[in-house]
Amino acid sequence: MPLVTTAEIVGPALRGGLGAGAFNVIQIEHAQAIVAGAEAAGAPVILQISENAVRYHGALAAIGRATVEVAHAARVPVAVHLDHATEPGLVREALGLGFGSVMFDASARDYDANVAATAAVAADCHAAGVWVEAELGEVGGKNGVHSPGARTDPAEAAAYVAATGVDALAVAVGTSHAMVVKEAVVDLELVAALRAAVPVPLVLHGSSGVPEADLTRAVAAGLTKVNIATHLNVAYTRAIRGHLADHPEVVDPRRYVAAGREAVAREVTRLLALVRAVPR
């Protein structure tokens, strides 16, 4: 199954009332693990690389090319997405690498500046056939300073989508980034109001902080793309820490990193079932 565009994954998910899982890649092993987990689930998946991960690697090209190659070799449809880009230059680089979508994050700017910058990026991306996600109503936690109290207003969201031409919208509905405890409360009434008001798929960021049964409910209420990063980091690090504790003699990174990779794959399979389930 080839690399596909994000639209080819999110569009059918929206029409079918299912969630589309989007998981963050930090190292090549994450890309391999997420694809293995999606293959086990028999589900399409989105691999996403954040601007923070690009900063860690020093550049997008190496990890971006590796991730696109992993997607090409997959047995399920896989798209590659640039997550939380604040620099238009990084967006252009992703287009050149074959990414199927980008999230341009101007959420820290005031409304008019956000609209102007996002509309310009969306026009560039659409000329290249690439899908654009943007954010309105800053989802907290990226800098450790925001509370999960931010909310996206449905009428403002509809106007923003019309003014920018974006293909998907990240909304603030009670979650916050980088949560390692599952205490976030998704405002399901607001999700339903946004779904009714906004013509494009809605994206949940900060999904790692959501109790697992609520992920299924959030999709049923109207969220489509579900972004998960921190939850996988917890699983990856726990597995490696356990392997190292059990094998104090180990020196070959392939031994312990493989333990982390297997743990991430298992979690991706489980999480994809949750976001693709009908709620009970």
Q: Is 153 a catalytic residue?
A: no
Least spacing, CB of residue 134 vs Zn ion, in Å: 12
Stretch in the footprint of Zn ion (CB under 5 A) among 62-70, 204-212, 232-240, 250-258: 204-212
3-state secondary structure of 227: strand
Are the CB atoms for 88 and 47 separated by under 8 Å? Answer: no
> Is residue 205 a contact point for Zn ion (CB under 5 A)?
yes
Strands 101-104 and 45-50 come out as unpaired
- Coil, helix or strand at residue 218: helix
Q: Which is nearer to Zn ion, 221 or 229 (CB)?
A: 229
Minimum distance of Zn ion from residue 71's CB (angstroms): 20
Length of the chain (residues): 280
Compare residues 68 and 172 and give the one whose CB is closer to Zn ion: 172
Q: Say which amino acid occupies 165.
A: G
Residues 6+ positions from 280 with CB-CB distance below 8 Å = none
Out of 83, 105, 167, 214, pick the active-site residue: 83
Exposed/middle/buried for 255, CB within 10 Å: 0-12, 13-18, 19+?
middle
Binding mask 97-136 for Zn ion (x = CB under 5 A): ----------------------------------------
Count of chain residues binding Zn ion (CB under 5 A): 1
225 alpha carbon, distance to own chain's centre: 7
In the complex with Zn ion, the residue whose CB is nearer, 36 or 268, is 268
Q: Which is nearer to Zn ion, 209 or 239 (CB)?
A: 209
**With contact defined as beta carbons under 8 Å apart, do 204 and 218 qualify?**
yes
To the nearest whole angstrom, how small is the minimum distance from the Cβ of residue 69 to Zn ion?
A: 25
Write out the residues near Zn ion by the rule CB under 5 A. Answer: 205
Catalytic residue numbers read 83
